Structure 1
C-alpha cells in the first residue's frame, strides 16, 4: 500500500524517502495555520504602518513648528519602525528566535552609525534646524562666512543664494554650530548713520538737519522716535549720529536714501564733511 504525503507526520517523513515537492506539500499542510497567521500579520501590519505614517505626516504638516521636510522624515521613521516590528512578529510565527535577529540588527545599526557619523551629524543638525527654525526658506541670514538668502533646507545640506547671485551649499552641521543672524525675522530694524562735520560747524544745526530728513521720510517709524546725537570726536571731524527705525522690508532702500540725502542737505546748508587732516609743526634746530 502506497503512502501519501498527507498521511505522513514530520517524524515519519524523515524516515521515508520523499520527493522535494512532496516534502514541501507536507510542510505546507503541517504549518498552514502559522502561514495564514503570518500572512495576515504581514498584510495588516503593512497597511497599519502606511496608515499611521500618513496620519503622522498630515498631523505634523498642520503644525507651524514643523516644515514639510521634517514631517515627511518623521513619518518615514514611524513607517520603517513599524515595518521592523511586523517583520519580527512574522518571523516569530514560525518559531524563529527573534532575540538574536534584534541583536544583529542593533550591531549593524551601530556599525553603520560609526561609519556614517559625519552624515548622521548633518541629519541631526538638519532636524534641529527644521524643528527650531532659526531661519526658513526665503529669509536672509548672516554667518561668519557669508550673507545669503535661504533657498532650500534639506536633511543633509542647506542651499543658499548670496546677494551677488552665487550659489552656496552648506552642510547642516556647520550651520547649526555657529551663530546665525536672521536679517528678516523681526518686523522692524534700526538704521544708524554717522556723518562727520568740521569742528567749526554747528553741531545743533547738523542734528536738526538729520532729524528733518528722518521726519520727512514716510518709511521712518514714529515709535521709536528718531534720534540725533554727537556720536564721536574724531581727529578731523565731529561725528553726528542719526538713529531711525523702519520696517525690515524698507531697511536697505532707506539706508541708501538717507545717506545720499544727508550729503546733499549738508552741502546745501553749508555744513562741511572734512577730509582727514594733519597739522605739521616745523621746529628749527
Structure 2
C-alpha cells in the first residue's frame, strides 16, 4: 500500500504533474463542444438562405458537421492523456467495417438518399415516374422516398432503388406531347375525318400552337383507318386536355356522320348432326 502511494505520490504532486494535461483537455472539450454547436447552427442558417439545398438535406448536413467536430475533439482530448489514437482508429475502422457489412443495404439507402438530396433529380411536390411507378413526391428521407400515386395510394421506395432506376420528372418538363389514336370506318371520308379532328384540336385552348399539332393516317387495319393526333400542352394541362379532346373527338365525328367502329367478333358454332343409334339386336 505504501509502495502504491509512493508511486502515485501525494495529491498535490499528482495535480502538479497531470494538472496541465487535465486543464488543457477540459479546455479542448469545451471549445470543441461549442464549435460543434456553432457548426450545426451555421449549416442550418446557410441552408435556409441557399435555396439550391433541399430542406431535407439541411438537418443531415448539420448532424454530420456536428459529429465530425465532436470526433476531432474527442481524439484531441484522448491525446492529451497519452492515448494512442492510431490504434483507436484501427479498432474503430474494424468495428465500422463489421457494422457496414451487416448493414450494407441500409447504408446503401443512406448513401443513395444523400446523392438524391444533393443532385435533386426531383423535389417534393413533383410528379415523377420511377421504373414504372408514378406519383407525387411527398418526402425524401435519408432511407426512403415517399410518393402518393395519382389515385391516392401511398408508395414507399428504398432510396437505393430510386437512385439506380430510370426517373422521369413530368413537372420539370417544359411541355408534353400527347398521342391519340382515333379509329374510323374504312368507308369513311378520310379528308373529312382529318378536318373534323383538326377543328377540335384548334378549338382546345390548352393545346400549344408551337409545335403545331398534326393529324394524319397512321395505319389501316381490321377494317378501320387509324388517325394519329399529336398535340403539345403544358405539363399541368396534359391530362385535362387529353380527356377533353377524346370526348370532343367522338362528339365531332358523330355530328359529321363518321362512324367510329367498335371491335366486333363473330362466333360460329357448327351444329352437329344427332348420332344415329342402331336398333338393338334381337
State the TM-score, normalizing by the size of structure 2: 0.86
Matches within 5 A, 1:169-248: 169-248=156-235
| Partner Cα distance (1:168, 1:132) in 2 | 22
Change (3 A) 1:23 1:152: farther
Could you list the per-position Cα deviations for residues 165-192 of structure 1 after superposition, in whole angstroms to 9, with x for gaps in the alignment? 2212111112222212222221311112
Aligned to 1:79: 66
| Partner Cα distance (2:122, 2:223) in 1 | 43
Residue 100 (str. 1) matches residue 99 (str. 2)? no
Change (3 A) 1:196 1:131: same
Q: CA deviation at 1:65?
A: 3.6
Aligned to 2:19: 32
Gaps of 5+ in 2: 268-282
Aligned to 2:3: 15
Report if the CA contact (8 A) 1:236-1:276 is conserved. no
Residue of structure 2 aligned with 1:54, choices 27, 30, 41: 41
Q: CA deviation at 1:26?
A: 4.4
Cα-Cα RMSD: 2.3
Q: CA deviation at 1:145?
A: 4.7
Q: Report how many residues are paired.
A: 266
Q: CA deviation at 1:114?
A: 1.0
Matches within 5 A, 1:104-115: 104-115=91-102
| Partner Cα distance (1:242, 1:131) in 2 | 40
| Partner Cα distance (2:4, 2:46) in 1 | 60
| Partner Cα distance (1:187, 1:229) in 2 | 25
Aligned to 1:262: 249
State the TM-score, normalizing by the size of structure 1: 0.86
- Tell me the SS of whatever aligns to 2:56: helix
Q: CA deviation at 1:25?
A: 5.6
Q: CA deviation at 1:61?
A: 4.4
Gaps of 5+ in 1: 1-12, 281-285
Change (3 A) 1:116 1:24: farther
- Tell me the SS of whatever aligns to 1:68: coil
| Partner Cα distance (1:52, 1:124) in 2 | 22
- Tell me the SS of whatever aligns to 1:169: strand
Runs (4 or more) in structure 1 with deviation over 4 Å come to 22-26, 277-280
Q: CA deviation at 1:231?
A: 1.5
